[in-house]
Structure 1
């Protein structure tokens, strides 16, 4: 159930902007908000760390509030919340022993040299900048009722930008840094 719940949450979260945009006039509001609330509650119950459980609980409460207060327009703010939560995690990691990207790098290379640690810190900072931009773009589109552009940005463009950042960093690391 744990793995199935994580897979479902990932798929629904990725598809969320387009499912919400195209289904918003067809009764999608309650079932999508309820599904997201349920999946985040499952994630809160099985999270490995306290911070994972806390973040999942915050998102479950967000969807519960959306349903309780019957505010379908609040659904546009989910991508903003995700970007801000990821920003908080990445910023917090800059003040802990290891940055978020360093933790990921150490999964492949446990004995990361000091220059690798410095590099992963810079990459974490770049991701922080991306999350600020992403949250601001999604918030601006949601606040200005540009729902068509919101769907395009949050459902397509932001994923392309994330892929470009991931791919660009990988190419840079492999071709320029040769690590």
Structure 2
């Protein structure tokens, strides 16, 4: 089961360069099959309704490409993923506990109120990130070359996600250390 998640993750991460390289040799209709395959895999392996909706939207994009033979809908898949992530994180802001709090409680079931407030703030930061990243994905899809689109959506955005994780981890270490000092000092 774990290999399936990792494999699917790698397929998803490789989507922008695969589409970019594929469009150099094949028509958008042919490349729509890659998006359709990704959608079917997502729908078949996901237990979460949100990812099934993403799969349905991806399949819809693939169908538009099949009908039009235009590449633009292929390039909108990263926008769909960012909007979905924004919706998931944002939904939990209005229907707590937040997603980040749920993840934090897996490690620390008795999360103190300060931790709850911190995880709420982190969830808000991720919402801003997904809004900005989705906007950049849309800008690159509509106004940039295929090469720039692939570079941003297939490399730069992943670097930004990694920087967000690393930055949050560093901030969390500082917040936890400050919390420990306040309890002991």
Instruction: Flag whether TM exceeds 0.5 (same fold).
Output: yes
Distance 1:81 1:55 in 2: 7
- Following superposition of structure 1 onto structure 2, how do residues 24-35 of structure 1 map, counting pairs within 5 Å? 24-27=23-26, 29-30=28-29, 32-35=31-34
- Structure 1 unaligned blocks of 5 or more: none
Please state if 1:92 is matched with 2:96: no
- Following superposition of structure 1 onto structure 2, how do residues 88-127 of structure 1 map, counting pairs within 5 Å? 88-127=87-126
Deviations for 1:44-88, whole angstroms, at most 9, x for unmatched residues? 244323333333322233223323432223211111111111111
Partner of 1:67 in structure 2? 66
1:173 to partner: Cα distance: 0.8
Question: TM-score, normalised on structure 2?
Answer: 0.83
Partner of 1:41 in structure 2? 40
Partner of 1:132 in structure 2? 131
Query: Which structure has the greater CA radius of gyration?
Result: 2
Question: TM-score, normalised on structure 1?
Answer: 0.86
Partner SS for 2:110: coil
Please tell me whether the aligned partners of residues 17 and 155 of structure 1 are also in contact (alpha carbons under 8 angstroms).
yes
Partner of 2:182 in structure 1? none
Give the length in aligned residue pairs. 178
Partner SS for 1:177: helix
1:162 to partner: Cα distance: 0.6
- Structure 2 unaligned blocks of 5 or more: 180-185
CA-based RMSD of the aligned residues comes to 2.2
Partner of 2:57 in structure 1? 58
Please tell me whether the aligned partners of residues 83 and 131 of structure 1 are also in contact (alpha carbons under 8 angstroms).
yes
Partner of 1:79 in structure 2? 78
Deviations for 1:86-145, whole angstroms, at most 9, x for unmatched residues? 111111111112111112112222222211111111001101111111111121122113
